[in-house]
Amino acid sequence: MPLDASVKGRTFPPTAPYTVSRERLVEFAASTGATYDGGPAPATFPIVVAFAAMTALMRDPSVGIELHRVVHGEQRFLYTRPVVAGDELSATLTVETLRQIGGADIIGTRSEITDAGGLPVCTAYATLVHRGEGS
């Protein structure tokens, strides 16, 4: 079942504020063999908040995505400023594009990631590929 076209253009509620801890940045950097020195976070760290927004989209029963059929096809970040420890981040996701190709839904999302003051930190674009049955 392809997704209903009405999901295109929908904006979902902001995710619950996520407080960036120094410990989490140490763990995130260490997972790639890097060392976190207390300054700016690793560039891809905002995925943690963007992922929460994508999960909310995928779990929303009114959207109709089956989680196990989803593949992360593409990810892009445009940064206004680096994330730092102590930031309180929230992501607001909009479904920008929806196409059907070969039985799969290609879902283009944009998540605006903001800080506690509502100021922009980064924009995360993700393409999710929702494979249909037999594709």
Partner 1 sequence: MSRFTAGEVLPDQTYTVTRAHLVRYAGASGDLNPIHWSDRVAATVGLPGVIAHGMYTLALAARALDTWAGGPGHVVELGAKFTRPVVVPDDEAGVQVVVRGTVKNVTGEGAQIALEVTCGGEKVLGMPRAVLGA
Give the binding site for partner 1 (CB under 8 A): 24, 27-28, 30-34, 37, 39-44, 47-48, 51-52, 68, 71-79, 82, 125, 127
Nearest-approach distance from CB 75 to partner 1, in angstroms: 6
Q: What is the DSSP code string of 100-122?
A: EETTEEEEEEEEEEE-TTS-EEE
The answer to whether the beta carbons of residues 57 and 93 sit under 8 Å apart is yes
* ∠ CA 11-16-19, rounded to 5°: 130
Nearest-approach distance from CB 108 to partner 1, in angstroms: 12
Token pair, residue 27, equals: 């763990």
Compare residues 30 and 116 and give the one whose CB is closer to partner 1: 30
Compare residues 6 and 86 and give the one whose CB is closer to partner 1: 86
Cβ atoms < 10 Å from Cβ of 9? 11
Nearest-approach distance from CB 4 to partner 1, in angstroms: 25
Compare residues 94 and 127 and give the one whose CB is closer to partner 1: 127
